[in-house]
Amino acid sequence: MITEPTVTVWGVTVMTDELRAFLPPADDDFDAFNNDSIDADYLTSAAGKICYTPKPNWNNKATNSVEKYVKNILSLEHYSVLAHAGIVFYIEGVSRALTHELVRHRFLGFSQASQRYQDSSSLDWVCPPLALDDQVAQEMLGMSFEHSREEYIELADQFQRENADKFDPHMLRKRSREAARAVLPNMTETKIVVSGNYRAWRDFLIQRLDPTADLEIMRLGQKLLPIFGDYATQSFSDIMERYGPKQ
């Protein structure tokens, strides 16, 4: 039984030397200039600045730092400049039910473990958050999953025996698994790589951290939120204030 997801950062936007040269030198307003974790915020700020001047103008006291500028962007809902930077996650320990919800966010990119190519006989099941404190429900879910897994194994073997003369060995395995997976339930674990720009990720968080969202994907959003706070501090500051840990 899996009780929570595991999230690993696989890639983030990093500033180039050319972008650094485009920005003002470090001073009191840019004390975190050399901190790679906020490269995305610098990129967002520079992109926003050139919308109005050929070279970023940092003389306006109201927006003369990255923090001030991005806060101004968020207040104006000028979200297009948040689409230049992004992040890639490797997510494990989530259910197929969750990924069916997740892939509806069409501005994110996905690479998911294939049930056609991979053998699903050793997969585990993901406990729905509502059942985490319910021992009876966990036993029922576990028994149901084990029954489905046994049927999957039997069906895969059956399909291979009955169709051995129709396909080469590689195709036979794929055809057998794609047919046998029909009995696997939504709680079956899966792994998925998800990438997206920060504008798309903001949309994901706003929708999935809402109290009416599916509980499992809400839990994933809660796990992702502090990571966004680390890698794009200012770009997610308003969502952190709304949904992050209360001080």
Digit-by-digit pLDDT tens for the chain (247 residues) are 999 999 999 999 988 888 877 776 655 454 444 455 578 888 888 888 888 776 666 666 667 778 888 888 898 888 999 999 999 999 999 999 999 999 999 999 999 999 999 999 999 999 999 999 999 999 999 999 999 999 999 999 999 999 999 999 999 999 999 999 999 999 999 999 999 999 999 999 999 999 999 999 999 999 999 999 999 998 999 999 999 876 5
How many Cβ atoms sit within 10 Å of the Cβ of residue 18? Answer: 7
> For residues 17 and 42, what is the distance between their CA atoms, to the nearest angstrom?
12
The alpha-helical segments, DSSP class H, found in the chain are 17-22, 39-49, 66-76, 96-102, 135-162, 169-180, 198-208, 215-231, 237-243
Model pLDDT, residue 23: 75
> For residues 63 and 84, what is the distance between their CA atoms, to the nearest angstrom?
20
Establish whether 219 is a catalytic residue. no
Model pLDDT, residue 19: 84
Residue of 202, 208, 219, 242 marked active site: 208
Q: In what order do the strands lie in the sheet with 109-112?
A: 6-12, 86-95, 189-197, 109-112
Q: What is the value of pTM for the model shown?
A: 0.89
Helix axes 169-180, 135-162, angle to 10 degrees: 140
Q: Which CATH class is domain 6-88+192-243?
A: alpha beta
Burial 182-220 (b: 16+ CB within 10 A, else e): ebbeebbbbbbbbbbbbbbbbebbebbbeeebbebbbbb
Pair of tokens at residue 160: 């291979």
